Structure 1
Amino acid sequence: MSTHLVEQSPELPRVAVTFGDPAGIGPELVARLLADPKTRESADLVLLADEEELHSAGEDAGVDLDWARELLHPGPAPERPGGGFQRKAATAEGGRWALDRLRTGLDLARTGEVGAILFAPLNKSSLHLAGMTQSDELRWFEEELGVDSFTSELNVVPGLWTARVTSHVSIADVAAGITYERVTAAGRLLDRVLRGAGVDAPRIGVCALNPHAGENGHFGRHELDIITPAITGLREAGLDLSGPFPSDTIFLKARAGEFDGVLTMYHDQGQIAMKLMGFDGGVTIAGGLPIPICTPAHGTAFDLVGRGAANTGSVRNAFELAVRLARR
């Protein structure tokens, strides 16, 4: 690895960058991001990689990254597996490598050396093979950082943000996870993050859980007993929330510009709509943590590895959002 860090510019935020799972398209995406001169102009970078990873990423992307060696973090590198990483497959070695890089990023954030973290796509199977016991990386971040307050993945496409009350749980368990406290906490979190991203007075639409928003109790009472009272409480506290709206129409309102954010009740309720609206540019943020952590809202795409076909729209948007949040 390089033996020094670049001196941080007083005008630019510093962002730590990981290459994600080495088996997927993450290295290529980061290499293409680094090859764009605008990237260096907007932030001081700390690359959580080694020279071999940087070289391999440049080869995947077909770009020369020799200049980027000066940005490599000088800390001790994890041990590489003999023979290198298997590509296009979930492996324990790839998962351990990705988690080690993320731990380094969290350490840098704790000490104030970076203001945000951008990580390229991870593979949950690799992470679990590597020993991660949490359901997803957000829960892993919570434990690593000692966070015990409400957190939620937030998803962003240009002009619209979403947060969710429940996330990576079985559909059979969703209803039990919709409580007054969780709806309230998720609404406050989405409002707070939108303000932090520069939206002065966020307008948030809230999804119903049941079809037709429950039809006044005929299809379930979550809307009457939990969601509406939570919305009322948040409005009384000065937040601009409205709903609950049926989930099959709320995103029509959002696309028309009526909302800055949408609060959904479960994972696919928002993700299906958001990926249809902007799959090639979507961003995921780990909301509720003490530091901004951003990533493209897509996976490792093993089928695209080595083909030079990976779309950089999401990683570019994730980087720009990380810079904006770090600056604020």
Structure 2
Amino acid sequence: MASPPVHIALSIGDPAGIGPEIIARLLADPATRRMARVTLIGNRDALSRGAASAGVPVPQPDDWLDIPHWSGSDAVFPPGVISEASGRFMLDSLRLAVRHVVDGPADAVCFGPLNKSALRAGGMQEEDEMRWFAKLLDHRGVCGELNVLDPLWTARVTSHIPLKEVSARLSPESVADAIEMLAAALRASGVALPRIGVCGLNPHNGDHGNYGSEETDIIAPGMRLAASRGVASSGPFPADTIFLRARAGELDGIVTMYHDQGQIATKLLGFEVGVTVEGGLPIPVTTPAHGTAYDIVGRGEASGTAMARAFDLACRMARSKNAVTA
């Protein structure tokens, strides 16, 4: 007997960006309704414009699609414009989506692209939405953004901080925590025995201490600590070759030391298909890895591939979560 469909709380993200367009396209795809029930947290004007750009019908309530009326439903946001109002809308819509999972019928959150400047103008004080979600959920454990380019996942030990602060923020514990977080997320997505590789920090992995010693002093001890907790990994490998190992199929996941160390590689490998998972949170949360693309809003040019993959991954993680708690 087939498992019942999961329930996804789906937010359009930034109403001034391409989120409404790619979500209208997602909801017009018959495959979507076979995957999950959906609660759409959106905005009428933005969804009408997005549907027109995508050349698909405006989403309407159905037996599989609930579109609640809420405080953000009737506002109007100029397309392609960063504003305090759109930032408040995004934060309020994400709060409502999370509430649908924590207190209501939904199993996971999926949302369209966000704009960090608008989020900050709208009241977000955290360094990024990952930390904002953690605060909202009162989650005090390890968490961090995971980037997914199926079948490869990446995590990072440090994230949105100046590059000059990276080394000081590394510790064996933070390395081990990132390894464990990535392994748990891979298992939740269906990878039973994740193969995780770890990046070094310095050129040529430090070249035996000639270019730095973080590999031997911090990263390798962190890998041993993760192993003592039951999570194996390999490396550390030089950052300029580890993605070649992944491309050859040797790794399921990579832990990098800082933001661009992984982001540059993954976006070169597949900018328009990548997905971000808000890893370590008590509920599944996914979104496309690309941004709001203000420059093409309304042109009908936005690719919906990453949005569809983010939705699919939210469904997969929701099924895994439900199987564990059943």
Which residue of 2 is the match for residue 3 of structure 1? none
Out of 48-57 and 113-122, give the one that drifted further: 48-57
- Conserved in 1, the CA contact under 8 Å of 2:7 and 2:105? yes
- Conserved in 1, the CA contact under 8 Å of 2:172 and 2:221? yes
Which residue of 2 is the match for residue 74 of structure 1? 68
Instruction: Give a deviation string over 1:125-173, Cα, whole Å, max 9, x none.
Output: 1101112111110011011110111111000012100000000111011
- Conserved in 2, the CA contact under 8 Å of 1:27 and 1:60? no
Spell out the pairing of 1:64-143 with structure 2 (5 A cutoff): 64-68=57-61, 71-74=65-68, 76-78=70-72, 81=75, 84-143=76-135
Given the alignment, which residue of 308, 312, 325 partners 2:317? 325
Tell me the secondary structure at the aligned position of residue 109 of structure 2: strand
Task: For residue 112 of structure 1, report the CA deviation from its aligned partner.
Answer: 4.4
Task: For residue 78 of structure 1, report the CA deviation from its aligned partner.
Answer: 3.1
Out of 43-52 and 254-263, give the one that drifted further: 43-52
Question: Structure 2: how far apart are the matches of 1:63 and 1:160?
Answer: 32
Task: For residue 252 of structure 1, report the CA deviation from its aligned partner.
Answer: 0.4
Question: Structure 2: how far apart are the matches of 1:317 and 1:304?
Answer: 21
Out of 218-227 and 159-168, give the one that drifted further: 218-227
What residue identity is the alignment partner of 1:76?
W
- Conserved in 2, the CA contact under 8 Å of 1:209 and 1:247? yes
- Conserved in 2, the CA contact under 8 Å of 1:58 and 1:64? yes
Distance 1:79-1:260 versus aligned 2 partners, 3 A rule: closer
- Conserved in 2, the CA contact under 8 Å of 1:160 and 1:260? yes
Please tell me whether residue 48 in structure 1 is matched to residue 41 in structure 2: yes
Question: Structure 2: how far apart are the matches of 1:76 and 1:208?
Answer: 47
- Conserved in 1, the CA contact under 8 Å of 2:44 and 2:73? no
- TM-score normalized by structure 1? 0.93
Please tell me whether residue 268 in structure 1 is matched to residue 252 in structure 2: no
Instruction: Give a deviation string over 1:24-52, Cα, whole Å, max 9, x none.
Output: 11100000101100001110000012444
Given the alignment, which residue of 126, 148, 155 partners 2:147? 155
Distance 1:314-1:66 versus aligned 2 partners, 3 A rule: closer
Task: For residue 325 of structure 1, report the CA deviation from its aligned partner.
Answer: 0.5
Please tell me whether residue 34 in structure 1 is matched to residue 41 in structure 2: no
Task: For residue 255 of structure 1, report the CA deviation from its aligned partner.
Answer: 0.5
Instruction: Give a deviation string over 1:214-270, Cα, whole Å, max 9, x none.
Output: 111111111111100111222344323011111000000110011000000000000
- Conserved in 2, the CA contact under 8 Å of 1:165 and 1:186? yes
Tell me the secondary structure at the aligned position of residue 320 of structure 1: helix
Please tell me whether residue 186 in structure 1 is matched to residue 178 in structure 2: yes
Spell out the pairing of 1:174-213 with structure 2 (5 A cutoff): 174-213=166-205
What residue identity is the alignment partner of 1:20?
G
Please tell me whether residue 58 in structure 1 is matched to residue 51 in structure 2: yes
The answer for unaligned runs of 5 or more in structure 2 is 321-326
Task: For residue 319 of structure 1, report the CA deviation from its aligned partner.
Answer: 0.6
Please identify runs of 4+ aligned residues in structure 1 that moved more than 6 A.
none
Question: Structure 2: how far apart are the matches of 1:55 and 1:80?
Answer: 12
- Conserved in 1, the CA contact under 8 Å of 2:11 and 2:42? yes
User: RMSD of the alignment, in Å?
Assistant: 1.6
- Conserved in 2, the CA contact under 8 Å of 1:203 and 1:260? yes
- Conserved in 1, the CA contact under 8 Å of 2:276 and 2:287? yes
What residue identity is the alignment partner of 2:292?
T
Which residue of 1 is the match for residue 323 of structure 2? none
Question: Structure 1: how far apart are the matches of 2:293 and 2:58?
Answer: 23
Given the alignment, which residue of 13, 17, 22 partners 1:24? 17
Identity of aligned residues (%): 48
Question: Structure 2: how far apart are the matches of 1:172 and 1:104?
Answer: 37
Distance 1:300-1:114 versus aligned 2 partners, 3 A rule: same
Tell me the secondary structure at the aligned position of residue 209 of structure 1: coil
The answer for unaligned runs of 5 or more in structure 1 is 1-8
- Conserved in 2, the CA contact under 8 Å of 1:50 and 1:72? no
